[in-house]
Chains A and B, each alone.
Chain A
């Protein structure tokens, strides 16, 4: 994907969640992983790229298109993407199926029948076919996250943004969800994800960005960043998280 980020800044009160981030990636990158300590700015960068928040300063360009500022165009920007949250954020009053159908019908203007068929197709592909009529509270964390992924995927987003998609899951469920994401990567889906799963970042991402204190500390190919980190911060971080 072609991504160009210039001087991106976002403050929450005194906290500099994004502090002048510059990043240019070419078309060869299909999957980008954001890594780094918690509170380092990964989620903020994802939300800014996804158009969920407006930057204080700076600009984002994806495939040559500059991210708009006004709410109306920003909503169109969001609609092209799919967004997955750490805590799933399914709508608890709707069944799994309705959670997926709602955006297809109300946001993307599909006919109800088409949306229903599409939702069933995606859910079946994610191995969740028997849980369609259940409410989120009746599903395990891993199942909820797979439904949330189906919701983010159903309209075939041009870019999928995953914010620590497995952080709230226990190991077995983590693996299930990572398998699915890996499958999407294989199928050519363009993805930016923030993650603490270093093995996944290393194995599946074409490029890795390390964020700390709202700044881009280092970026490069997965092999470069993991095997030959240039900065001491990244080296210290990796030696800590890879130790166990």
Chain B
């Protein structure tokens, strides 16, 4: 009884808020013609963000897997180093990492592609978060599963391949999908090294047209178009890997 009342109340509050927001945003008096001349800039910015997202996503998985392997490895040094890396990256602002990565480190090795450096820094940043998600997933597999794998004579590598990873994948999917969506949105910080991505283009459109909302509102749709497919894919994979019926 109370549960139904509560859930009805939550639905009403959410629907009202949502309707209010949509109404306010939709009935605003927009001057779309002010940004019309810049629509190609916005689109090219969106394409850059798409490129940065796709490449960093793949690279960050690679970085995350390496860090996880390092943390779980048997020796003493590499877990310590990986742990330190993860703590430093997670504990410091991405903005600073991008600046240091581009103006100090990349400069020192004479690499001047802001797009390339941006992708690498983002991947290293996101990889640190992913490695913690992966490690949590692997460590959540019960000891009895490892013991059982040992008992049937699997090697360590076979245990990971046939027993641990297939079970861990499903457990890490929701958190990993969240991190991927963050990665897409974090790419907007690359404006500090003048990567002409989506948000940077919107800032420029705003500066030129003085139409703030008209310049920034397309970001809502543009980023959602990138993050929503990640959500859908994650849900699809979760269903595919489901085994407790």
Kindly specify which of A12-20, A29-37, A86-94, A170-178 makes contact with the partner chain.
A86-94
A138 and B166: CB pair below 8 A?
Answer: no
Interface size on A, residues (CB 8 A): 25
Name which residue of chain A comes closest to B158, CB basis: A106
In the bound complex, do residue A93 and residue B155 qualify as a contact, i.e. CB atoms below 8 Å apart? no
Interface of B is mostly: helix
Within 8 A of B (CB), among A133-152: 135, 137-138, 151-152
B145 touches A102 (CB 8 A): no
* Chain A residues whose CB sits within 8 angstroms of the CB of B148 once the complex forms: 85, 89-91
Query: In the complex, what residues of A have CB within 8 A of residue B150's CB?
Result: 52, 78
**Nearest Cβ on chain A to B170's Cβ, whole angstroms:** 8
**Cross-chain contact A135 with B145 (CB below 8 angstroms):** no
Chain A residues in 8 Å Cβ range of B241 = 93
Q: Quick check: A106 and B244 within 8 Å, CB to CB?
A: no
Q: Are A135 and B153 in contact (CB under 8 A)?
A: no
Question: What is the CA–CA distance of A89 and B145 in the complex, to the nearest angstrom?
Answer: 6
* Identity of the chain B residue whose Cβ is nearest the Cβ of A135 in the assembled complex: B243
Known contacts A92-B243, A92-B244, A137-B245: A85-B163 contact under CB 8 Å: no
Indicate if the CB atoms of A92 and B153 lie closer than 8 Å. Answer: no
Q: How far is the CA of A94 from the CA of B243 in the complex (A)?
A: 8
A135 to B145 Cα, complex, angstroms: 15
Q: Are B153 and A75 in contact (CB under 8 A)?
A: yes
B10 an interface residue at 8 Å Cβ cutoff?
no
Tell me, rounded to whole Å, the shortest Cβ–Cβ distance linking A140 to chain B.
Answer: 14
Tell whether, in the assembled complex, residue A50 and residue B158 are in contact, meaning their CB atoms are under 8 Å apart.
Answer: no
Chain A residues contacting B245 (CB-CB under 8 Å) are 135, 137-138
Q: Which residues of chain A (151-181) have a CB below 8 Å from chain B?
A: 151-152
Q: Which residues in window 151-209 of B have CB below 8 A to A?
A: 151-155, 158, 162-163, 166-167, 170
| Residue from A83, A93, A106, A108 with most neighbouring chain B CB atoms (10 Å) | A93
Contact of A93 among B144, B152, B154, B243 (CB under 8 A): B243
Please measure, in the bound complex, the distance between the C-alpha atom of A85 and the C-alpha atom of B166, giving whole angstroms: 22
Residues of B near A229 (CB, < 8 A) are none
Q: Is A118 interfacial (CB 8 A cutoff)?
A: no
Q: Supply 5 A–B pairs (Cβ within 8 Å), ascending by A.
A: A89-B145, A106-B154, A107-B154, A137-B243, A138-B245
Residues of A within 8 A of B (CB): 50, 52, 75-76, 78-79, 83, 85, 87, 89-94, 102-103, 106-108, 135, 137-138, 151-152
